[in-house]
A and B are shown apart, each in its own frame.
Chain A
Amino acid sequence: MGSLSGSLNIALQALLVEQGAIETTSNNIANVNTPGYSRQRADLVETPPVQFGSVTLGTGVKLADVTSLRDSILDLRVNQETQQQGQLGAFISSGQQIQGLFNETAGTGLQAPLTAFFNSLSQLSTNPSDLNVRQSVITAAQNLTRAFNQTSNNLSTLQRNVDLSVTQSVNQINALTSQIALVNAQVASATAVGQNPGPFIDQRQQLITQLSNLVDVSQIDAGKGSLTLTTNSGVPLVVGGQGFQLTTQPDPVTGLQHIFSQGTDVTAKIAAGQLAGQLQIRDQEISSLQSSLDALASNLANSVNTQHQAGFDLNGAAGGNLFNPPPAGGVGAASSLTIAITDPTKIAASGGPAPGSPGDNANANALLALQNQTIVAGKTPLNYYSGLVFKIGNDLSTAQTNQQSGSLVLQQIQNLQGGVSGVDINEEAANLIRYQNAYQASARIASMIDTLLQTTINMVQ
């Protein structure tokens, strides 16, 4: 049968349990603003009953565990969306700088110098013997070469800046993977001894989200609370308590940093996160723009040179090159384009060799006609350029649209996550009242049993 001391034990134990529950509540309220914190719940369970003949008596309550409330699927989704956001964010930030170089809506870009160059030839055709008009052809050609040089050099500068960011991202990734490896080990050891690993998991989750912003992360449950992190293509990042560092080495040709893991070049395998966005800008967007500019510059220069050589200058001599010939294949043509003549009499406006016909404009007309000829990859120079402008704008605007819709998705998932893990002050306050009442009641029982014991003792006197 039951005993007073048994009841006292139950009451005392209840006091301790409610105290634990109040402490959990207090901890929740304390961490209401802590990023990554998952609210904790005191798990109260009945202790096993005792049997007295046919009577079963309860033995009170115990604090079985304190669990952190989280939904690991939502955590994964947050990480996935964060990877997309990181990649798009990096792409957009550099893409905006690129489109600034070609902002035709504000009149910056290559259209104005291209049009001006052909306009100078148009003017030449009306007055081919005038030295001032000839000089203005040279000036316009020079302006065009400078515009090509500047645009190409600005793109290269941008590419080098992005390259620096690549190194920084790799350093940040390494710092995070080391931290995650440490916390990962703590989760494993806490799990092993039966402690609540929740706080460590919170911390680890927070770090993995940060890592997701930088690079694509794939999680594999390695058992016993431990996680293995790799990129989507399997490049190891964290295994158990060990972080795998990424290293960078400059490419011997381009000087741009390549990313290595365990001695293997993994640059092309980075699929998401800020690092992927930076690589995309550096290795695809800027590179493709540079080759397009090179194609435009070299095809234009070659066609103009060929036509110029077909004409005759003011002295009746055969025309030479107007532009210094671009490198064969066109690589680097835009950055190195220069004008070959500075003497206005050397402009080959005339179609015939007779030195006495300075008014002959046949070749000036032929040079002008190049404007409407498909001399650059099957397009006129200007159409080729406007295609380039479209691509720059379109790549960026697509990324911006994706980022906007992605950020709404992320926000939604984070709300769902907050629904599971976020601390609600009202809820905690209500719990506090419940635990406080239970505590007070248990204390009252203890004091009542004290009275009963007194009565029993007094009975013996």
Chain B
Amino acid sequence: MSIRINPNILPDLLLSLAQSKQNASTATQQLATGRSVNQLSDNPSAAATLVGNHDQAGQDGQFLQNINSLNTKFQVADSTLSNVVQVLTRAISIGTEGANGTLSAADRQAIAGEVQGLLSQLVGLANTAYQGTFLFAGTAVTTQPFTLDTTTNAVTYNGNTGVTSVQLSNGNSINTNVPGSQLFLNGAGNAFGALQNLNSALLSGNGIGAAVSQLGTALSQISTQRVFYGNALNQVNLSENFLNQDKVNLSTQENALVGVDPAKAASDLVQAQTANQATLSATGRILSLPTLLDFLK
């Protein structure tokens, strides 16, 4: 005797209808959102990895913002120092002119006047501010770092020697400033002191040559320090490239984790719809099959 089968096949049909509908709805959702993972339970480990991915992308975004602001700051500092170099070069050139013994005292005084002007220009440059903070004040960024005593021509440094560092990317930090004292009042080449000396030498007519050579030392000192900003700009650009690449990598990873293959989702949808229709038509036929009762008279 054969096994008696369940005469009520409706639950089986309904289950398979529900399944094909579920498949169609999943495929539709994937196509609509462009994602194969729309809930944590769709793929728990992908969802957990996605948390780290989004965090890293968010951090990269912030690092890029930081870099953007640092970049401008470094450019401002670098071009300021380039102006400083011009000022000192000009001072050396007129100092050399002043060292010429044929000049009269009046001529030297006129040159000394220009040197005085260069000195205040240098003070102005050394007090350059970017977005409300002084670039060469160490960490005392809200204090004007250099003041010029107009009677004695003495320059005072009001900043400090603090150096700050900022992260350019995870685990990669960069120093962001050179204190003004190190730039302009450096023992190895004091720009302010040299200008002051040149000024007094021109006025007195003595030691002009020595003052000019002092200026030369100060100039080479500034140029040495300026390398810091050049390097910093390079590093910032490198980090920017790295971060932009990282963002691309992260978005590729995200796509691999939770993205959907549109062709596959579309074919899943068609398959589910076909299955659904086939089941429906089968259900219709099976439910309207005649029974033995229909043949009894």
Chain A residues within CB distance 8 Å of chain B: 95-96, 99, 102-107, 109, 111-112, 114-116, 118-119, 122-123, 125-130, 350, 352, 354, 356-362, 365, 368, 371-372, 382-383, 385-387, 389-394, 396-397, 400, 407, 411, 414-420, 422-427, 429-430, 432-433
User: Are A393 and B141 neighbours in the complex by a CB distance under 8 Å?
Assistant: no
A95 and B41 in contact, given A425-B291, A430-B292 (Cβ under 8 angstroms) = yes
Cα distance, A382 to B140, chains bound together (Å): 35
Closest chain A CB from B196 CB (angstroms): 26
Closest chain B CB from A357 CB (angstroms): 4
Cα distance, A385 to B132, chains bound together (Å): 39
A417 to chain B: which residues have CB within 8 Å? 6
A393 and B66 in contact, given A104-B47, A359-B162, A423-B7 (Cβ under 8 angstroms) = no
Cα distance, A432 to B49, chains bound together (Å): 67
Cα distance, A200 to B41, chains bound together (Å): 43
Closest chain A CB from B288 CB (angstroms): 13
User: Are B141 and A104 neighbours in the complex by a CB distance under 8 Å?
Assistant: no
User: Are B37 and A105 neighbours in the complex by a CB distance under 8 Å?
Assistant: yes
Cα distance, A356 to B134, chains bound together (Å): 13
User: Are A385 and B51 neighbours in the complex by a CB distance under 8 Å?
Assistant: yes
Please tell me which one of the listed residues B40, B63, B176 contacts residue A105 in the complex, with CB atoms under 8 A apart.
Answer: B40
A390 and B47 in contact, given A383-B52, A411-B11 (Cβ under 8 angstroms) = yes
Which positions 250-297 of chain B face chain A at CB distance < 8 Å?
258, 291-293, 296
User: Are B40 and A115 neighbours in the complex by a CB distance under 8 Å?
Assistant: no
Q: Would you call B170 an interface residue if the criterion is a C-beta within 8 Å of the partner chain's C-beta atoms?
A: yes
User: Are B139 and A360 neighbours in the complex by a CB distance under 8 Å?
Assistant: yes
B162 to chain A: which residues have CB within 8 Å? 352, 357, 359-360
User: Are A429 and B296 neighbours in the complex by a CB distance under 8 Å?
Assistant: yes
Which chain A residue lies CB-closest to B44? A393
User: Are B139 and A359 neighbours in the complex by a CB distance under 8 Å?
Assistant: yes
User: Are B7 and A127 neighbours in the complex by a CB distance under 8 Å?
Assistant: no
Cα distance, A324 to B160, chains bound together (Å): 34
Which chain A residue lies CB-closest to B7? A424
B142 to chain A: which residues have CB within 8 Å? 129, 358-359
Cα distance, A440 to B234, chains bound together (Å): 109
User: Are A397 and B41 neighbours in the complex by a CB distance under 8 Å?
Assistant: yes
B121 to chain A: which residues have CB within 8 Å? none
User: Are A357 and B139 neighbours in the complex by a CB distance under 8 Å?
Assistant: yes
A393 and B167 in contact, given A103-B40, A105-B35, A123-B66 (Cβ under 8 angstroms) = no
Which one of A112, A122, A126 has the highest number of Cβ atoms from chain B below 10 Å of its Cβ?
A126
Cα distance, A103 to B3, chains bound together (Å): 49
15 more contacts with CB within 8 A, not counting A115-B54, A115-B58, A127-B69, are A102-B40, A105-B47, A105-B50, A106-B38, A111-B55, A125-B66, A126-B66, A359-B177, A360-B164, A397-B41, A411-B11, A411-B15, A414-B11, A416-B6, A425-B291
Cα distance, A416 to B69, chains bound together (Å): 73
Q: Would you call B227 an interface residue if the criterion is a C-beta within 8 Å of the partner chain's C-beta atoms?
A: no
Closest chain B CB from A293 CB (angstroms): 15
Please tell me which one of the listed residues A128, A359, A386, A387 contacts residue B138 in the complex, with CB atoms under 8 A apart.
Answer: A359
Which chain B residue lies CB-closest to A354? B160
Closest chain B CB from A33 CB (angstroms): 9
A430 to chain B: which residues have CB within 8 Å? 292
Closest chain B CB from A253 CB (angstroms): 31
A382 and B51 in contact, given A130-B132, A356-B160, A420-B4 (Cβ under 8 angstroms) = yes
A425 to chain B: which residues have CB within 8 Å? 7, 291-293
State the main secondary structure of chain B at its contact with A.
mixed
User: Are A415 and B6 neighbours in the complex by a CB distance under 8 Å?
Assistant: yes
Cα distance, A368 to B166, chains bound together (Å): 10
User: Are A400 and B66 neighbours in the complex by a CB distance under 8 Å?
Assistant: no
Q: Would you call B5 an interface residue if the criterion is a C-beta within 8 Å of the partner chain's C-beta atoms?
A: yes
Contact string against A for B residues 120-150, beta-carbon threshold 8 Å, 1 for contact and 0 otherwise: 0000000000011100011111110000000
Q: Would you call B65 an interface residue if the criterion is a C-beta within 8 Å of the partner chain's C-beta atoms?
A: yes
Cα distance, A47 to B40, chains bound together (Å): 70
B138 to chain A: which residues have CB within 8 Å? 357, 359
B45 to chain A: which residues have CB within 8 Å? 390, 394
A105 to chain B: which residues have CB within 8 Å? 35, 37-40, 42, 47, 50, 258
A396 to chain B: which residues have CB within 8 Å? 40-41
Cα distance, A429 to B44, chains bound together (Å): 54
Q: Would you call B76 an interface residue if the criterion is a C-beta within 8 Å of the partner chain's C-beta atoms?
A: no
A397 to chain B: which residues have CB within 8 Å? 40-44
B31 to chain A: which residues have CB within 8 Å? none
Which one of B45, B52, B139 has the highest number of Cβ atoms from chain A below 10 Å of its Cβ?
B139
What are some 15 contacts across the A-B interface (CB < 8 A)? A104-B47, A115-B58, A119-B59, A123-B65, A127-B133, A128-B164, A350-B139, A356-B140, A357-B160, A359-B133, A361-B164, A393-B41, A397-B40, A418-B6, A419-B4
Closest 4 A/B residue pairs (Cβ):
A393-B40, A418-B6, A393-B44, A359-B141
A390 to chain B: which residues have CB within 8 Å? 44-45, 47-48
Cα distance, A396 to B43, chains bound together (Å): 10
Closest chain A CB from B40 CB (angstroms): 3
Which chain B residue lies CB-closest to A118? B59
A359 and B167 in contact, given A111-B55, A433-B296 (Cβ under 8 angstroms) = no
User: Are B6 and A386 neighbours in the complex by a CB distance under 8 Å?
Assistant: no
User: Are A359 and B137 neighbours in the complex by a CB distance under 8 Å?
Assistant: yes
Which chain B residue lies CB-closest to A371? B59
Closest chain A CB from B276 CB (angstroms): 18
User: Are A126 and B8 neighbours in the complex by a CB distance under 8 Å?
Assistant: no
Cα distance, A128 to B38, chains bound together (Å): 40
User: Are A382 and B44 neighbours in the complex by a CB distance under 8 Å?
Assistant: no
Please tell me which one of the listed residues B7, B55, B62 contacts residue A382 in the complex, with CB atoms under 8 A apart.
Answer: B55
User: Are B141 and A418 neighbours in the complex by a CB distance under 8 Å?
Assistant: no
A362 to chain B: which residues have CB within 8 Å? 164
User: Are A368 and B167 neighbours in the complex by a CB distance under 8 Å?
Assistant: yes
User: Are B40 and A392 neighbours in the complex by a CB distance under 8 Å?
Assistant: yes
User: Are A386 and B293 neighbours in the complex by a CB distance under 8 Å?
Assistant: no
Q: Would you call B165 an interface residue if the criterion is a C-beta within 8 Å of the partner chain's C-beta atoms?
A: yes
Which positions 59-91 of chain B face chain A at CB distance < 8 Å?
59, 61-63, 65-66, 69-70
User: Are A358 and B140 neighbours in the complex by a CB distance under 8 Å?
Assistant: yes
Closest chain B CB from A111 CB (angstroms): 5
Which chain B residue lies CB-closest to A399? B41
User: Are B40 and A99 neighbours in the complex by a CB distance under 8 Å?
Assistant: yes
Which chain B residue lies CB-closest to A115? B58
Cα distance, A393 to B52, chains bound together (Å): 15
B47 to chain A: which residues have CB within 8 Å? 104-105, 389-390, 393
